[in-house]
Amino acid sequence: MNSQGPLSQKIFAVAKELIPGGVNSPVRAFRNVGGEPFFVRRAKGSRIEDIDGKHYIDYIGSWGPNILGHAPIAITNTIHEVAKDGISFGIPNLFEVEMAKTICEWVPSVEKVRMTSSGTEATMSAIRLARGFTKRDYIVKFNGCYHGHSDSLLVAAGSGALTHGEPDSAGVPKAFAEKTIVLSYNDPAALEALFAERGEEIAAIIVESYPANAGLVFPQPGYLDLLTTITKKHGALLIFDEVMTGFRLGRAGVQGLENLTPDLSCFGKVIGGGLPVGAFGGRAEVMDLLAPVGPVYQAGTLSGNPLAMAAGLAQLRELTARSGFARLEQLGAHFENGLRQLMLEKGVPHRINRVGSMFCLFFTEREIINVDDVMKQDLAFFKKFFWGCLDKGIYLAPSPYETGFISLAHTEADLDDTLTVFSEVLAGI
């Protein structure tokens, strides 16, 4: 199980001597599927080319940011022009103000916004701000929701529904983890029991509104409404992590689709046009607690970087000009319908979750409610499917716990070619 060409093999051997695991982010190491990764030479549109010259239709898109596809002219030209006037200043620039204005216009719950350089920074800062605003220490997260790798959020569930969390990584002090309570997603009874017992101690709930880091999981009817009402009742804040879903599923992300108003929201990916970026924003009275106005400290040398801001603005303008969200829904529906028909024809146990341009294929007949259901799919089958597709030029996420992405560069022909490969691979498993 290894599609590496000889040059990728050689470079990966060198990388492992210089970089822990040979990668700069763990999922790239292919540990969930076995084998070793390939190295990319270039990418354009819906396709990537590795350093051995093999081409793939890509359904990762840099894990979400590349909603227009790889290297779109609108963004590459913008980066080229903006870079002529400087790459980084550490001084306010016009692009960051325009980006802030755009986010506030597109997302009704956001009255003020602060830029960061990553989604991890955004969620970490939103948690600190919520604690500062409420003057409470405890936060609630959900098992299977990933919010970056800051200490307060690398926490796994404890031994019972109402216990404190346990560190999910070496190097995270137990005392930090004890300030985070972990619940099962889509379990209203556990949520209500927790707030009945300890609601006045909780600063915030943070949630991936559509969890997309354990496959793609949807809230049960009324669940997100419950998060809204229970936090208001107890004086806690509700933080939507829309780093992945924001500006991909519509102008206002999940909160726009569900007509909800969180207190704080976290963004990233699409608003950077492929460059490092993050942002968090919400009600002005909460945001005004941030330094230099208020006592909650947050800073970043490259926050509001002109290249990232300009690239993100170019991407958002292009999405608007091309009626991008409607087109992505059209492409997503085309792919989902073809995939459902194929799975039924092949008699493969499956679940397909799809919203807009985000999708996930689970090899199980179980209803997918939370991460426990995701973990019980046929992982051995997924590995065979992944390698079969990679061998035939289809690049899916090298993990059964990740979401796939369609871009505006994908065509119906790309999607149909992909389904043909899926059919060939399934026939051989």
Q: In this structure, is residue 98 part of a structural domain?
A: yes
Residue 151's pLDDT is 83
pLDDT in tens, 351-403: 999 999 999 999 999 999 999 999 999 999 999 999 999 999 999 999 999 99
Q: In this structure, is residue 156 part of a structural domain?
A: yes
Average pLDDT over residues 307-312: 98
- Structural domain range at position 31: 1-41
pLDDT in tens, 329-342: 999 999 999 999 99
Claim to verify: residue 335 and residue 310 sit in the same structural domain: no
- DSSP state letters, 116-167: ESSHHHHHHHHHHHHHHHHT--EEEEEET----S-GGG-EE--SSTTSBPEE
**Per-residue confidence at 152, pLDDT binned at 50, 70, 90?**
confident
pLDDT in tens, 72-107: 999 999 999 999 999 999 999 999 999 999 999 999
Claim to verify: residue 261 and residue 189 sit in the same structural domain: yes
Is the per-residue pLDDT at 146 higher than 60? Answer: yes
Is the per-residue pLDDT at 317 higher than 70? Answer: yes
3-state helix, strand, coil in the chain (%, to 5): 40, 15, 40
Residue 159's pLDDT is 38
Q: Which of 100-104, 193-197, 234-238, 399-403 bottoms out in mean pLDDT, i.e. has the lowest? A: 399-403
Identify the CA nearest to 290 among candidates 281, 277, 301, 302.
Answer: 281
Is the per-residue pLDDT at 167 higher than 80? Answer: no
Claim to verify: residue 14 and residue 120 sit in the same structural domain: no
Cα gap 263→286, rounded to integer Å: 8
Q: In this structure, is residue 355 part of a structural domain?
A: no
Average pLDDT over residues 217-236: 98
pLDDT in tens, 251-275: 999 999 999 999 999 999 999 999 9
Average pLDDT over residues 17-46: 94
Claim to verify: residue 9 and residue 86 sit in the same structural domain: no
**Per-residue confidence at 138, pLDDT binned at 50, 70, 90?**
very high
Residue 50's pLDDT is 97
List, in order, residues 6 or more apart from 260 with CB less than 8 Å away: 109, 209, 224, 225, 228, 240, 254
Residue 170's pLDDT is 86
How many CB atoms sit inside 10 A of residue 149's CB?
A: 17
Q: In this structure, is residue 225 part of a structural domain?
A: yes
Dihedral sign for Cα 113, 116, 120, 124, please: negative
Claim to verify: residue 153 and residue 28 sit in the same structural domain: no
Strand, helix or coil at 23?
A: coil
Claim to verify: residue 167 and residue 278 sit in the same structural domain: yes
Q: What is the DSSP letter of 242?
A: -
Average pLDDT over residues 28-55: 95
Cα gap 56→398, rounded to integer Å: 14
Is the per-residue pLDDT at 236 higher than 50? Answer: yes
Residue 157's pLDDT is 53
Cα gap 4→35, rounded to integer Å: 9
Claim to verify: residue 28 and residue 91 sit in the same structural domain: no
Q: In this structure, is residue 395 part of a structural domain?
A: no
Average pLDDT over residues 34-55: 96
Claim to verify: residue 289 and residue 340 sit in the same structural domain: no
Residue 162's pLDDT is 39
Report the percent of the chain where pLDDT is more than 90. Answer: 89
Residue 3's pLDDT is 64
Cα gap 261→361, rounded to integer Å: 30
Q: In this structure, is residue 244 part of a structural domain?
A: yes
Residue 158's pLDDT is 45
Is the per-residue pLDDT at 166 higher than 70? Answer: no
CATH of the domain at 144: 3.40.640.10
**Per-residue confidence at 160, pLDDT binned at 50, 70, 90?**
very low
Cα gap 116→119, rounded to integer Å: 8
Is the per-residue pLDDT at 211 higher than 60? Answer: yes
Please give the mean pLDDT across all residues of the chain: 95
Catalytic site positions: 146, 241, 269
Strand, helix or coil at 221?
A: coil
Q: In this structure, is residue 70 part of a structural domain?
A: no
Q: How many domains does the chain have?
A: 3
Is the per-residue pLDDT at 419 higher than 70? Answer: yes
Claim to verify: residue 198 and residue 154 sit in the same structural domain: yes
* Contact yes or no for 371/185 (Cβ under 8 A): yes
Claim to verify: residue 112 and residue 149 sit in the same structural domain: yes
Q: Which of 5-19, 160-174, 356-370 bottoms out in mean pLDDT, i.e. has the lowest? A: 160-174
Claim to verify: residue 124 and residue 262 sit in the same structural domain: yes
Q: In this structure, is residue 420 part of a structural domain?
A: no
Claim to verify: residue 231 and residue 346 sit in the same structural domain: no
169 versus 70: the higher-pLDDT residue is 70
HSE-CB of 394 using CA atoms within 13 angstroms: 23
